[in-house]
A and B are shown apart, each in its own frame.
Chain A
Amino acid sequence: MAHPVLTLVAQRVALGLLLLLAASVLIFVGTQILPGDVAQAILGQSATPETLANLRQELGLNEPVVSRYFGWLFGVLQGDLGTALSNGQPIAPALGTRLGNTLFLAATAAVIAVPLAVLLGLVSVRYRNRWPDKVISAVTLATISVPEFLLGYIVIFFFAVQYRLLPSLSTVYDGMTMGERLYAIGLPVIVLVLAVLGHMMRMTRAAILNVMQSAYVETAELKGLRPFTIIAKHAFPNAIAPVVNVVMINLAYLVVGVVVVEVVFVYPGMGQYLVDHVAKRDVPVVQACGLVFAGVYIGLNLIADLVSILANPRLRHPK
């Protein structure tokens, strides 16, 4: 009999893959029922019945949906995402660069936001209902409430136009050094950190406060431990599961939900790429992007699940 944690992990991974498959069906069906026929969208005003029929034939649109779906799925499983209809180029390389950029921005924001949110959460609990807690809550709730594009314009106004500390354009390209890249994405990172900080910080605070009611925390207090040691060493480990869940949701948001920030700062990420191709009804690209996004979401949630499982001592050390 395998270790129960291994079984659980295997189950979760299998479930994740199944979900991904279901998502691929949804994406495929979704793109099929988009208003307007692909051939019509490509030809636009110059469409005639003959050219439409020819193009449908060329794109394989006359085959049944099910066989087209499996054709696409097998291609994807072999790493072939197909070619873009709009410019005839293979999708994978272009998508790869865009995905790399998106992950770079998300990772940089996450490296700053996650530790900062947890630390601020701990500080809030330590000084709960006193001024540091109130200031932290007020500021983070305010930044999460301001729409991101406005936050973007505000930081552009102050940091780029008024004081010229950071560039307002975050275009990154091949041949830039790591330092240049980090400098270029300074402003969007600030906006993203401000956008996700509040949620994670509030959740950390709530989860720890919940644990703080427990008997063992009272014991620790009676032992005379320093308040911060109690919070960090005794309460926080038991609050990890809910915190990790929120962190993962926010990470997923950093990857798939930043179209607006990309547009404001002209950052060549996945969001803008997807929007351009949806407008042109470039279905293969939309499907590929959808699948990548679904994969990111499912993957991060899977990690959250696994961390929650592993953070539970009763599961790690079965009797």
Chain B
Amino acid sequence: MKDDLARLIDWIDAGGMSRRGFLGRASAFGLAAALGSAVLPGQARAEEPKKGGILKIGLGGGESTDALDPGLADGPAAFNVNRQWGDCIIDVSAEKELQPRLAESFDSNEDSTVWTFKIRKGVKFHDGSEMTVDDVVATFKRHSDENAKSGAYGIMQGIKEISGDGENVVFTLSTPNADLPYLLADYHLIVQPKGGVDNPNAGIGTGPYKVKSAEPGVRYVFEKNADDWDATRGHYDGVEFLIINDTTARTAALQSGQVHAINRVDPKVAKLLSRAPGVQVKSVAGPGHYVFIMHCDKAPFDNNDLRLALKYAINRQELVDKILDGFGSVGNDVPINSSYPLFDEALPQREFSLEKAAEHYKKSGHDGSPIELIVADGAFPGAVDAAALFQASATQAGIPLVIKRVPDDGYWSDVWNVKPFCASYWGGRPVQDQMYSTAYLSTADWNDTKFKNAEFDELILAARGETDEAKRKEMYAKATTILWETGGVICPMFNDFVDGVSETIVGWVDDPNLELMNGFISSKTWFA
């Protein structure tokens, strides 16, 4: 990998930007965002974009049951499709800064309970109608409605009231939340005419490309939106998505030049693919991670020494090397890494130590009966192999770990969140609060480690409303340390987004938010 070092430097830069960028106040945000987009790193800065051509992308993770309704988007294909035709009111940039989009600027009251977004004027939907404040309000109301089955329903829960006020949309929250703008950048929350209430599947939005034809699970065609409100994006005449779920077929399509970019390159072939002529492999560290989860309230995992024994007994680097083929980074038994704003670098990395594992195991007084780890192939790619490596190292420490392999069918309903020790994965969340609120608060529905700690809960809830950045960071650091010391999550690795891109594509920027430049590859790149 020729650019490992470069990637690392980029990454540190990105982390630095994000902390500086998190200011919490509107006018400053607007300014920072404007500067952010003017100072794009790398090639983007050096060259003037060229117009024209049809960008073809091969996507894995699409099904013939996919809908255009942005609320129902639950896979990579649906996500990328919605990025073409729709816009959110705000985006999170590759540098983790907030970028107002359909909102021009935003502001909140002193305690972050009332947020005001000023909506951009003169933006036209693809059907020619003008976007209004009412459309924006209706969009958010639709996603707050349980019947809409929106993927952003959970995010909308904390919002008590959404109302239009002149040129502003006002969100009134039930509890303070300084992270609200990050949450509203969720890719489900695309502004549709009249909120998309009449026809959520219309595919009419304000995005850089118009939907020309949509055949779910097969092919999507988009044409350039000539009336795009943002003239700095969308350099292609059109975009074509082909759904290619078979990994080998997807790779072959890129190699044979039938598509210019693909998502989800199999880590096992990524190194080989990067050597193929005309193709580059882009590996971008993100917030997604693979985990082994123990229920803190069930024997034998209710004993923290046993949990620590298992945490010390896993060889993280080996898993990154063998399961991810190096396309990832080691985890540290907490669900966040440096891709999150306000990440605490001071947290020590848990090492692989058979002595400590044996010591804690002895201290736990476990009776020596087999400890059963349940895995399925679908838990995460390579889960079964990862469990086997874990078992091998645990056995060396004298821990009687046994693997029980089960089928994928029913894994998420019968094993995950039900059995006391199993493999799983998380896609990550844009901010720490959301990750912790989803899976680690005592009250969380998806508290899949049954981790219940009053002090941790208190810190997370207090941090949510804290507007002083330094204090907030300190609170997260404390909470993270509690989880690191006593939690039920073993996080061996964070997996990278691995995309394949033709060398004819210029303007690529590593974006840690999601694959294919957070879905903006067609907006921000062009043909050489």
Q: A123 to B242, alpha carbons, bound, how many Å?
A: 43
Which residues of chain B in 376-422 are interfacial with respect to chain A, using CB atoms and an 8 Å cutoff?
A: 409-410, 412-413
Which residues of chain A in 28-52 are interfacial with respect to chain B, using CB atoms and an 8 Å cutoff?
A: 35-36, 44-46
Query: Is the beta-carbon distance between B256 and A160 smaller than 8 angstroms?
Result: yes
Knowing A168-B253, A169-B253, A173-B213, say if A273 contacts B244 (CB, 8 Å). Answer: no
Which residues of chain B in 234-254 are interfacial with respect to chain A, using CB atoms and an 8 Å cutoff?
A: 242-246, 248-249, 252-253
For residue A116, CB closer than 8 A to chain B, the reply is no
CB-defined contacts of A168 to chain B, threshold 8 Å: 249, 252-253, 256, 258
Query: Smallest distance from the beta carbon of B223 to chain A beta carbons, Å?
Result: 14
Interface string of A154-181 (1 = CB under 8 A from B): 0011001100100111010110000000
CB-defined contacts of A236 to chain B, threshold 8 Å: none
Knowing A161-B256, A173-B218, A173-B219, say if A263 contacts B65 (CB, 8 Å). Answer: no
Knowing A84-B65, A268-B215, A277-B64, say if A169 contacts B258 (CB, 8 Å). Answer: yes
Q: A22 to B215, alpha carbons, bound, how many Å?
A: 34
Which residues of chain A in 239-268 are interfacial with respect to chain B, using CB atoms and an 8 Å cutoff?
A: 263-266, 268
Query: Smallest distance from the beta carbon of B258 to chain A beta carbons, Å?
Result: 5
Interface string of B307-346 (1 = CB under 8 A from A): 0000000000000000000000000000000000000000
Query: Is the beta-carbon distance between A273 and B256 smaller than 8 angstroms?
Result: no
Closest A residue to B64 by beta carbon equals A276
Query: Is the beta-carbon distance between B244 and A266 smaller than 8 angstroms?
Result: yes
Query: Is the beta-carbon distance between A268 and B65 smaller than 8 angstroms?
Result: no
Closest A residue to B63 by beta carbon equals A276
Q: A160 to B256, alpha carbons, bound, how many Å?
A: 6
Q: A168 to B252, alpha carbons, bound, how many Å?
A: 7
Closest B residue to A157 by beta carbon equals B252
For residue B465, CB closer than 8 A to chain A, the reply is no
Compute the total of residue contacts between A and B using a CB distance below 8 Å.
87
For residue B216, CB closer than 8 A to chain A, the reply is yes
Query: Is the beta-carbon distance between B249 and A167 smaller than 8 angstroms?
Result: no
Interface string of A40-68 (1 = CB under 8 A from B): 00001110000000000000000000000
CB-defined contacts of B242 to chain A, threshold 8 Å: 169, 171, 266
CB-defined contacts of B219 to chain A, threshold 8 Å: 171, 173, 268
For residue B67, CB closer than 8 A to chain A, the reply is yes
Closest A residue to B67 by beta carbon equals A87
Interface string of B11-48 (1 = CB under 8 A from A): 00000000000000000000000000000000000000
**A263-B246, A266-B242, A277-B65 given; 4 more Cβ-contact pairs under 8 Å:** A86-B65, A94-B64, A168-B258, A276-B65
Q: Which 3 A-B pairs have the closest CB atoms?
A: A86-B65, A268-B218, A160-B256
Residues on B close to A: CB < 8 A? 58, 63-67, 149, 201, 213, 215-219, 242-246, 248-249, 252-253, 255-259, 409-410, 412-413
List, sorted by A's number, 27 A–B pairs whose CB atoms are closer than 8 Å: A35-B409, A44-B413, A45-B412, A45-B413, A86-B65, A87-B65, A87-B66, A87-B201, A94-B64, A153-B252, A161-B256, A164-B257, A168-B253, A171-B242, A173-B215, A263-B246, A266-B243, A268-B215, A268-B218, A272-B217, A273-B64, A273-B217, A276-B63, A276-B65, A277-B64, A277-B65, A280-B65
